[in-house]
Structures are given as structure tokens and as C-alpha cells.
Structure 1
Amino acid sequence: MRQFLSRFPPQHFLDDWVSFPAGATEGIPDKIADPQDYLRRAFGANAAYILSGSTETAHGTERLPMPARKSLITLDLAFSAFDSYLIRRGFSPIEMENKWFIYFKDSGLFLRRSWTGRLIYHVAFQERGDTLYASHAHANRDPEQWPNGSDEYDRRELLALINILLLNKR
């Protein structure tokens, strides 16, 4: 719980402040956002998403396959058990400004554009108990689907998406 609160601090979701009952949250700050609102914002408004995380069919856009034109990006990343949990939960957009839809399936992380369903990145993971290791990813190189394509740009973009949207590391 402490690790989750440190990564997703209530101040991140600030609307109104209320206090938990005395003694109910040992080691947690005295004041945090309304518990129901905090959990909805941290985990999502949809009950199925709260329990399972984002799934392949959670977002209503078409899911296009990775085109034949793709690039292999070397990663060499290892994630803690907690970060691996957050990666497996994925990310479902909750407002129009969220441009990414991310889900974990069959030891792979799929990062799609939320409006078009275009698969931009696919990260292949090895699961080692509770932790994940990523040696490489594929990046879309179809210029009509993803015109940004350089390996260095895509490596930085992919790491930023994982760190910001999935791990909430800013």
C-alpha cells in the first residue's frame, strides 16, 4: 500500500480533501483525497478495469496488426515486482486527450493509438516469477501509420510511455 501511495500520491488527484478515520491508515498521510474518488482515479472508473486492468478488448477501437515494416529496438530492461504489476495492468484512456491504449497479453505489451487502434509498439517480455524483463520491442515503421520513426526517437518515446502512463514516474 505504501509503495502504491508513493507512486500514485493522493495529491495527484486533488479535488477536495477529507480525512480518513483516526488510526485507519497507519503510515499514510493524515489527509488524502476522498477514498472512493482516489481509487476510481488511480484504478479507473470501470469495475472490470479495476479488477483486471486494461484488456485487449477494453477500448472500442479496431486493433490493427503490426505492419510488415517494423524496426527492432533493443531495450534490456528489468522491472521490480511492483512495476511489473503496474505494467501488466496496462492503460485505458479515460478522456479524449489520452492518445494511447496499452494492454498486456501473452507476455507482450501492446501500445496502440487510442483513436485509430494502430499498433505502434510491441514489447516482448520474459516473465521471471513476479518480475518482467524486456530485451527488445518492435516499432511500427509504416509512414502512413507512424511518421515519427527513428529507432532512437521510438526508444525514448516507448520508455516515456511506460514510465509516465504505466508506472506514474514523472
Structure 2
Amino acid sequence: MPALTLRPGEWIGWQDIPGRHAGWPPGPVFVTALAPLRSGRRLLDLHVIRPFRPVVAIRDSVRLQVMQRGPGLILGSTTDEAGTERLVVITPLTFDWFREHCSLLTDRFPPSRFTADEDGAPVTTMTGPAYARCLFGREETAMLDGVTEESLPGPKPPMAASQARFRLDHTYDPFDSWLIWRGTAPRAMRDKWLICARDGHLLFRRRAGGHLIYAVEATWRGDRLHLGTVTASRDPRAWAVTDDRHDRDLVVHLINLLLIGVPESAPGAPR
């Protein structure tokens, strides 16, 4: 087996020891660029996207001191701006790698949930890179920003003038907050909702017609997301529900099911 080679445009398994954020998965990372330094010291400059970190994904630059390179493995070390030294373990990204290092995610979002990736491309074999594309998309903007309103084709009308308001008032833990903020877009025909963050709100649009049904105030409190007032459409042409309690239950259900990946019994309402 040849020695592991890193290439731009690929996902790789990545572990920092010690980890960068307690309680968070170690990787993977997406390689955007790399350049070996001509110093004779086995130094490699890597430019990557780190999706797993509090609040949002980031671009990062790493100078890696390569200690060992062999079949399916690169060992190296880095020193960050604070002077913290870390051992880095780089391996090919497989779905088994996800299951070992990101079990919270694979338990909530098993391969059976995905018949298409973030761009609608069919998924026939759930490899590590295919699973990463399902979660983070193919384009760097999607990896960094998550779902946006542009992820839903067609018209996206503003909230109807006829509205109701009620309180959600819930603060989520850091990992759930990260999942919520990334949003979700329809993939298969059965999927009915686009949910994305914009201008301090979490927006819920119906796939049919692009109607904005809910806009939820979303505020970051450190690495925790607080959801406050919900504005709900009361335009009967877009949404037949007129009961605030039911709408509140449905918002919570959609967050749990589609964003956090924790199914609960759904309110008996039209979907």
C-alpha cells in the first residue's frame, strides 16, 4: 500500500491530541490547499476547513511538522498561536472513522436518512467522503455557512402581513446549537421544509411555493443558541394552521427531527 498522500479538494480524517474543543468531534477537515516548505525539515503548510467547532465552521491554516508518513497514516505535530503543541493523526476518511470519532452524529443521522447529498446527488454507497458531502455539501461556501435561502430554488416571498407571535424561549447546548445553525434543505420529494439562519433569525420555508411560515429570533449566548420569539404566518393561502400552541409544538418538532436528529412524536397537524 502506498504512503498516504494529501490532495486539495479532499476530506481527511484528522485528530488533534489534545483536542481543540472539549466534547467535540476531532474532525474531519476539508483540504483546500497545501504546500511543502523547501526547508528540508518535512514542514507542510495546510489550508483546511474545520466544520466541527463551536458556533460555526472556519477556515484554518496549519503548519504541520511531519514525523511519520506511511500507508494510510500521517503523524505530525503543530503549535498554535497560543503556543499549545498538538500531535496530529491524519488518516483516510471512511464511514467507520465517522462512527468511531463522531458517534453522536452518526447515531442521530445514520446513512438511512440520506438518499441524496446536500446538492441532491444520489448516494448509493455511504463512504466517508459521501457522508461528509451529505452533512456539509460539496462547495466550500456550504461547508462554511451551512444551508442558505439560495438552497431552495424558486420564489421566496416575505412573511405574510397576517401574523401571530408567541415565545419559544429555549437555549440549546453547544453541539445542538451548531446543528441548528447549519440548517437543512429539501433533498428528496418527501422533504417539505427549508430551515436556515439569516439576519438573527431561524427561517422556516415550505418547499411548495417557498412561503415563509416561521421566523424565530435566534441569539448566540457564547456557544449556545437561544431561540426566542416566533413569528408565524397566518395567511391561509400559505398555511392553514391558526393555533399558536400547535405551531409552537411543530417548530420544536421540526428542530428536533430535521436539525438535531432526535425524532419525537409530531403534533397531529397538516404538514
**TM class, shorter-length:** 0.7 to 0.9
Q: How does 1:33-48 map to 2 (within 5 A)?
A: 33-44=126-137, 48=141
Please, which of 143, 147, 154 is the counterpart of residue 61 of structure 1?
154
Answer yes or no: is the 8 Å Cα contact 1:8–1:168 preserved in 2. Answer: no
| Shift in CA distance, 112/159, structure 1 to aligned 2, threshold 3 Å | same
What is the CA RMSD across the aligned residues, in angstroms?
2.3
| Equivalent in the alignment of 1:157 | 250
Q: Secondary structure at the match of 2:151?
A: coil
Pair 138,163 (structure 1): closer, same or farther in 2 beyond 3 Å:
same
TM-score, scaled relative to structure 1: 0.80
| 67 and 78 in structure 1: CA distance in 2 versus 1, 3 angstrom threshold | same
Larger Rg: 2
Report % sequence identity: 33
Gaps of 5+ in 1: 16-32
SS in 2 for 1:115: coil
- Shift in CA distance, 5/92, structure 1 to aligned 2, threshold 3 Å: same
TM-score (ref. length: structure 2): 0.52
Q: Which residue of 2 aligns with 1:140?
A: 233
Residues 11-38 of structure 1: CA deviation (Å, up to 9, x unaligned): 82059xxxxxxxxxxxxxxxxx521222
C-alpha distance 63-4 of structure 1, shift in aligned 2 (>3 A): farther
Q: Deviations over 1:25-63 (max 9, x none)?
A: xxxxxxxx5212222233345554233210122221211
In structure 2, do the counterparts of structure 1 residues 85 and 3 end up closer, same or farther at CA, with 3 Å as the change threshold? Answer: farther
Return the alpha-carbon distance in structure 1 between the equivalents of residues 165 and 198 of structure 2.
Answer: 19
1:110 aligns with 2:208: no
Name the CA shift for 1:3/1:162 in 2 (closer, same or farther; >3 Å).
Answer: farther
Distance change in 2, residues 1:158/1:14 (3 Å): closer
Q: Distance in 1 between matches of 2:138 and 2:240?
A: 33
Q: Is residue 144 of structure 2 the alignment partner of residue 51 of structure 1?
A: yes
Structure in which a larger fraction of residues adopt strand: 2
Gaps spanning 5+ residues in structure 2: where? 1-24, 26-99, 114-125, 264-271
> SS at the partner of 1:54?
coil
Counterpart in 1 of 2:193?
A: 100
Match of 1:120 in 2: 213
